[in-house]
Amino acid sequence: MALAALKNLTRLAEVAAVLTRHGFADLVERLELPGRHQAPAEEAPGEKHPLWARIRRVAEDLGPTFVKLGQLMSQRPDLLPVELVLELRKLQDQVAPESREVIVATVERALDRPLAEVFGEFSPEPLASASLAQVHRARRLDDGRAVAVKVRRPGIVKMVEADLALLAGLAKGLHQRVEQLKPYNLPGLVKEIASHLRQEMDFLLEARHMVTARAHLGPRPPVDIPAPHFDLSAPNLLTMDLVVGVRLERAGLEQAERAALAKELAGVILRQVLKDGFFHADPHPGNILVRTGLERPRLALLDWGLVGRLTPRMRYLVGDLLMTMVERDATEMVRLLYAMGAAPSGADQAGLIQDVEDLLDQVHSRPLSEIDSGQVILRVMEIMRAHRLQAQVQYALLDKALLEMEGVARELDPGFDPVEVAKPFVRGLWLERWRPDVMARSLRRHLHDGLELLKNLPQRLDLILGQLERGEMGFEFKHRGLVPLTKAIEDSSNRVTVGLIVAALIVGSSMIITTGVEPKIFGLPALGLVGYLISGVVGLWLVWSILKSGGGKF
């Protein structure tokens, strides 16, 4: 057996042991994982921990890849139960750091130069250590600038790809064998999460994200975003300006300072979403530092590996959705939700409107300043999941970004009012839509699309007619309401045909009887008697079938 296959079997056996230890032995049996009979089960796991907590513990025990995957899965409350989403957001991404020798060797290979030719200083102790990378303080040798060097863990890409392949197989097996999990489309979810994870492991892509975000903020940014150093960066290495700061809980700020920072953070994220269409998709407290010792405290946004992008149309839909929530228009809100997600066939639109109306009743039962918009967003996503309305990926990233932003803002300022902060951005978005240049651009685009359609229409019609002439295309008409009528007509035609056959048999038999031809039975021609017998049996069957189907009721 190949070495890769042996490693895969070993990892599968480890997965089986972890699942069984946390009370998921039934899944192990259904998936027929290797080593399932040897894995020891934890006593009464359901009594010790709830279901969602056990899923989180499984991810923690399976290591960094599954922890990161769990964190990314927590971005999809429209696909997963809200309780599971909240539990997965508790996953911590802190692991033991690599040794200095390993990190130095990785940096030297990435830059193709000895470390001493690049950095005058390089701290052996990391500033932070996560599952995919760790960050070290350093100083450039050429100009003496203090920098932070983010180094991808050696071998992590190969390990992540192996675990992703393994997870894709498990997701496919669960989707096929566990009926209750089919609505969650686990294979599709794993594919989406895998794409995000691969993006996060490309540090040059993260550097470009940082440049874009800094450009949108302008010359006087309200928050700090480190500038990348492309000459000392590679796909597995990111060198950037060093941001010296502390985490929110250690900043020791006055209440007025905390309230100001809450508004600044919310303003930056809402500007990115509603104006720029390019936003930090994971602004949780671990990715935010407070810079103290300045004229006034400032926030710094770190870790730009995962970002969201919204087209102008998507931004307008988001703005309209916020307006409909404030204006309490359930029908329009449902229309927007359908525009933002993929609706299944046979969707219950009336039921969706009723659920949205109930939500708006709850929202408007209290003053707008007291609304917990994070909980409202979660509730909207829960309604979408209940009606199998799957949001596009960018909207899911947006929901998570807004939830994280509000959580941090309320941690800074319990009296934070998200509606008040959002008002000028929503108003600006509405005004932007009706600016002459935007309207002219939209009109030009629609005109171009219309002209392209007219230009290509003759060619497309000629192609369709040619396929029809060659018999390569056909049409099938089916109407559910006409199916019973069609069946009734077919049944009636069959009975008329049988009736005509019976009548013909009777007439023919009568003519044979009058001829007196041999042979005879009881002095009558045998052929005529047989005809009477057959017509009698068929006639009785026809009468019986008509009566059985209700056709004999007058």
Span 187-230, pLDDT tens digits: 888 888 888 888 889 999 999 999 999 999 888 888 999 999 99
Helix (H/G/I), strand (E/B), else coil: 289: strand
pLDDT tens-digit series, residues 232-281: 999 999 999 999 998 888 888 889 999 999 999 999 999 999 999 999 99
Task: Mark whether 26 is an active-site residue.
Answer: no
Q: Phi-psi region for residue 112, left (φ > 0), alpha (ψ -120 to 50) or beta? A: left
For residue 380, what are the CA distances in angstroms to 87, 358, 402? Answer: 18, 11, 13
| 3 state SS of 121 | strand
User: Which amino acid belongs to residue 51?
Assistant: L
Helices in 287-417 by DSSP H: which ranges?
Answer: 312-327, 330-340, 349-363, 373-386, 393-412
Rounded Cα gap, residues 194 and 164, in angstroms: 7
pLDDT at 43: 43
Q: Which residues contact 360 (CB under 8 A, 6 or more apart)?
A: 325, 328, 330, 333
Q: Which amino acid is at 440?
A: A
Residue 207: left if φ>0, alpha if ψ -120 to 50, beta else—which one? Answer: alpha
Give percent of the chain above pLDDT 90: 23
Closest CA to 283 of 297, 300, 271, 298: 300
Three-state SS annotation for 422-474: HHHHHHHHHHHHCCHHHHHHHHHHHHHHHHHHHHHHHHHHHHHHHHHHCCCCC
DSSP state of 519: S
Spatial separation of the C-alpha atoms in residues 10 and 467, rounded to whole Å: 55
Q: What is the DSSP code string of 68-88?
A: HHHHHHTT-TTTS-HHHHHHH
CA distances from 313 to 27, 213, 395, 429, 495 (A): 43, 20, 12, 11, 60
Q: Which helix (H) or strand (E) holds 497?
A: helix 483-515
Q: Phi first, then psi: what are they for 206, rounded to 5°?
A: -60, -40
Report whether 356 contacts 333 (CB < 8 A).
yes
379-388 residues labelled b (16+ CB within 10 A) or e (exposed):
bbbbbbbebb
How large is the angle between the packed helices 483-515 and 526-548, nearest 10 degrees? 160
Distance between CA atoms of residues 131 and 95, nearest Å: 6
Supply the pLDDT for residue 203.
Answer: 95
Q: How far apart are alpha carbons 105 and 378 in whole angstroms? A: 45
Tokens 């950037």 -> residue: 240
| Selected catalytic residue, list 224, 282, 320, 413 | 282
pLDDT tens digit at each of 554 positions of the chain: 333 444 567 778 888 888 888 888 887 887 777 765 554 544 444 446 788 888 888 888 888 778 888 887 777 776 778 788 888 877 766 678 889 999 999 999 999 999 999 999 999 899 988 888 999 999 999 999 999 999 999 988 988 888 888 888 888 888 888 777 777 778 888 888 888 888 889 999 999 999 999 999 888 888 999 999 999 999 999 999 999 998 888 888 889 999 999 999 999 999 999 999 999 998 888 889 999 878 889 999 999 998 999 999 899 888 888 888 888 888 988 888 888 876 666 667 888 889 999 988 888 877 766 667 777 877 888 888 888 787 788 888 888 888 888 888 988 888 888 888 888 988 888 888 777 877 777 777 777 777 787 778 788 777 888 777 777 766 665 555 555 656 666 666 666 776 777 677 777 777 766 666 677 776 667 776 777 777 777 777 767 776 666 554 43
For every residue of 246-273, DSSP letters joined together read B-GGGS---HHHHHHHHHHHHHHHHHII
Other CB atoms within a 10 A radius of the CB of residue 6 amount to 10
116 token code pair: 């001493």
Q: What is the pLDDT of residue 403?
A: 84
What is the rounded average pLDDT for all residues in the chain?
81
Distance CA 456, CA 546 (A): 56
Closest CA to 73 of 61, 57, 56: 56
C-alpha 473/C-alpha 471 separation (Å) is 6
